[in-house]
């Protein structure tokens, strides 16, 4: 089984409005993102942040890969949580969008943060949430979460009955087939242009290969690897400056092993994508 979640996940769901009448409204340097890129939610935000070119307008504070409190939170975020919710009982988890004007949290809700980044902060990047595509983007996110992530977790659960693991693996493979056929006819999930749907799928595929694969048998991983169009798409996005450079492979591994309660299976030896090749490429270009 994959890494366990914090015992209680707090939720702040403030949104960024259009102008000063909205309370929270977009202003350069007013807000800050607090991210741990080893977390898939934070990785989606980090990739989106780079795609939109928001490095100057919306600064980022990077947190340790492995949460450092017993409840799965970050000590560095505790003051923000306490300022936002008196005697807050839950863990101080990332991601966080904070407001430097008030010293409080605006949001910890990844979908809302992503939409507000795309719609409110401007930037020079692509239109990641085209008008009219919102429902389709949300449908892709549900498909990834349920058909890939949740299915892979069930398929790798050693204590589950064989029939349950087989059914979960079938769901996972069927979902990958659906995405494979969709990408066979287009460059990105919704057509010619990149959207948040692609960011969500790419991070899901990273997690499938770097985390969930370790609990699947070798036969299952070989079957997953057979979706060549899907994995070529993952490699193509990883080669882009906004994607691959955010991968913290060591951090992902340490976060997984710090919280994982499952047993490693033979599939751990069958790497699907050489993700390190993309991070090495970034280092070489920077040098």
Domain ranges of the chain: 20-120, 134-286
158-162, Cβ contacts within 8 angstroms, sequence gap of 24 or more? 158/1, 158/215, 158/262, 158/263, 158/265
How many other C-beta atoms are found inside a 10 Å radius of the C-beta of residue 254?
15
Any idea of the CA torsion for 110, 111, 114, 116, to the nearest 10 degrees? -110
pLDDT score, position 124? 73
pLDDT (tens, 9 = 90+) of the chain, 287 residues, equals: 444 444 445 579 898 987 666 678 888 889 999 999 899 999 999 999 999 999 999 999 999 999 999 888 999 999 999 999 877 778 999 999 999 999 999 999 999 999 999 988 866 789 999 999 999 999 999 999 999 999 999 998 878 888 999 999 999 999 999 999 999 999 999 999 999 999 999 999 999 999 999 999 999 999 999 999 999 999 999 999 999 999 999 999 999 888 776 677 666 778 899 999 998 544 333 32
Residue 53 makes CB contacts below 8 A (sequence gap 6+) with 123, 124, 125
Q: Is the distance from CB of 275 to CB of 209 less than 8 angstroms?
A: yes
**Is residue 107 helix, strand or coil?**
strand
Distance, first Cα to last Cα, the chain? 39
Q: What are phi and psi of 59, to 5 degrees?
A: -65, 160
CB 127 within 8 A of CB 35: no
CB neighbour list of residue 178: distance below 8 Å, 6 or more residues apart: 143, 147
Taking alpha carbons only, the member of 266, 223, 25 closest to residue 122 is 25
Helix (H, G, I), strand (E, B) or coil at 34: strand
In words, the CATH class of domain 20-120 is alpha beta
pTM over 0.75: yes
pLDDT, residue 3, reads: 42
Place of tokens 């057979």: 226
Residue 234: which of 223, 224, 66 has the closest Cα? Answer: 224
**Residue 63 DSSP one-character state:** -
Please state at what angle helix 196-210 crosses helix 110-120, rounded to 10 degrees: 140
Which residues contact residue 218 at a Cβ distance below 8 angstroms, ignoring those fewer than 6 apart?
265, 266, 267, 269, 270
Contact residues for 143 (Cβ-Cβ < 8 A; gap 6+): 175, 178, 179
pLDDT at 121: 86
Q: Which CATH class is domain 134-286?
A: mainly alpha
Q: Please report, to the nearest 10 degrees, the dihedral formed by the alpha carbons of residues 105, 109, 115, 117 taken in order.
A: 40
Q: What is the distance between the alpha carbons of residues 35 and 90, in angstroms, rounded to a whole number?
A: 18
Bridge partners, 97 (sequence order) = 33, 107
């Amino acid at each position: 089984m994959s890494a366990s979640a914090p015992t209680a996940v707090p939720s702040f769901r403030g949104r960024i409005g259009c102008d000063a009448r909205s309370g929270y409204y977009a202003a350069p340097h007013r807000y800050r993102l607090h991210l741990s890129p080893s977390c898939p939610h934070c990785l989606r935000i980090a990739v989106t942040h780079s795609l939109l070119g928001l490095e100057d307008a919306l600064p980022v504070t990077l947190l340790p890969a492995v949460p450092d409190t017993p409840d799965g939170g970050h000590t560095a975020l505790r003051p923000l949580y306490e300022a936002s919710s008196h005697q807050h009982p839950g863990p101080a988890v990332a991601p966080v969008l904070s407001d430097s004007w008030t010293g409080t949290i605006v949001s910890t809700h990844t979908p809302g943060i992503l939409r507000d980044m795309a719609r409110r902060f401007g930037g020079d990047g692509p239109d990641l949430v085209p008008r009219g595509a919102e429902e389709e983007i949300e449908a892709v996110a549900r498909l990834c979460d349920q058909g890939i992530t949740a299915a892979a977790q069930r398929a790798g659960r050693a204590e589950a009955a064989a029939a349950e693991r087989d059914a979960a693996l079938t769901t996972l493979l069927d979902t990958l087939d659906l995405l494979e056929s969709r990408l066979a006819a287009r460059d990105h999930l919704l057509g010619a242009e990149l959207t948040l749907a692609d960011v969500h799928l790419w991070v899901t595929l990273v997690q499938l290969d770097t985390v969930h694969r370790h609990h699947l048998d070798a036969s299952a991983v070989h079957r997953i690897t057979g979706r060549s169009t899907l994995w070529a798409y993952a490699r193509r996005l990883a080669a882009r400056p906004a994607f691959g450079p955010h991968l913290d492979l060591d951090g992902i591994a340490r976060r997984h092993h710090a919280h994982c309660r499952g047993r490693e299976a033979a599939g751990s030896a069958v790497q699907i994508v050489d993700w390190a090749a993309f991070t090495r490429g970034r280092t070489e270009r920077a040098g």
